[in-house]
Amino acid sequence: MTFNEETLIAYADGELDAATRAALEAAAASDPQLAARIARHRALRARLEEAFAPVLGEPVPERLLASTRREAPLQGASNVVRLEPRARPRWSWPEWSAIAASLVLGALLGPLLPGPRPGNAPVDTRTGQMLASGVLARALSEQLASAQPPGAPVEIGVSFSDKDGGYCRTFVLRERQALAGLACREGSAWQVVTLVRSATAAASGYRQAASALPPAVAGTLDELIAGEPLDAAGEAAARARGWNRPAR
């Protein structure tokens, strides 16, 4: 008697009727290959259970206990899900002031401006715009998020098309006090649209985790992006095109 995979899975999940179960067990007793296939399904199930079991032992967050135990103020319609504040205004002045409180713009840009060794600064403001230069410009033009060189001074995050069809990319400058930002291709240059200091980026290996992306950068991304971000293939294709917007 042969057993298909679904039957073996149902056995591992405890869903077989008694007769089929007995037949399968009898067959497995004399068929090591069959026994191994069953063991594989059971092992996967055990592995999944183990992987999530520790959650049961975690202390339940106080806010969950509080809203379960007593009348928590239900904010408005409780059937609207909001996991995080998303539509934050991009550069509302209070927010900007908060950022500015920790870094005067001059202090932020100071180390970036061309110094004794012009051409090395990652941002060039001589034209009156913030344009990427040096390592930043090179990384924006050359580096793929899907293949970041280890220890690179710039980490590229998300690449995407903006609503005008131009390309933009998020980045983190590791060496310069961990600045995070977003730049868009303008002609043959990268215009830095947003640049903020990122404590998160400094603290740990920075990844494009939603929680780690500085709000100002995330907000700008949300505002500019058209459709989906580029996947690895799209990113490589855009680079091959020199980041010129595709013909329409």
Backbone angles phi, psi at 96, to 5 degrees: -60, -40
Could you tell me how many residues of this chain bind another protein (CB under 8 A)? 56
Binding mask 106-135 for another protein (x = CB under 8 A): ------------------------------
- Sole binder of another protein in the list 15, 25, 175, 186 (CB under 8 A): 15
Considering only residues 152 through 171, tell me which ones interact with another protein, judged by CB under 8 A: 158
Query: Contact region for another protein (CB under 8 A) — 59-67, 102-110, 135-143, 173-181?
Result: 59-67
Residue 212 binding another protein, by CB under 8 A: yes
Nearest C-alpha neighbor of 192 from the set 169, 224, 212, 175: 169
Nearest C-alpha neighbor of 105 from the set 91, 118, 119, 84: 91
- Sole binder of another protein in the list 64, 100, 107, 147 (CB under 8 A): 64
Query: Contact region for another protein (CB under 8 A) — 117-125, 128-136, 172-180, 221-229?
Result: 221-229
Three-class SS of 34-71: HHHHHHHHHHHHHHHHHHHHHHHHCCCCHHHHHHHHCC
Nearest C-alpha neighbor of 178 from the set 193, 158, 195, 191: 195
Beta strands in 47-178 (DSSP E): 123-124, 131-132, 154-161, 167-173
State the nearest-atom distance from the C-beta of 15 to another protein, in Å.
5
- Sole binder of another protein in the list 199, 209, 232, 237 (CB under 8 A): 209
Around Cβ 185, how many Cβ atoms within 10 Å? 21
Residues in contact with another protein by the rule CB under 8 A: 5-6, 9-10, 13-15, 40-41, 43-45, 47-58, 60-61, 63-65, 67-70, 72, 74, 78-79, 81-84, 86, 158, 204-205, 207-213, 222, 225, 228-229
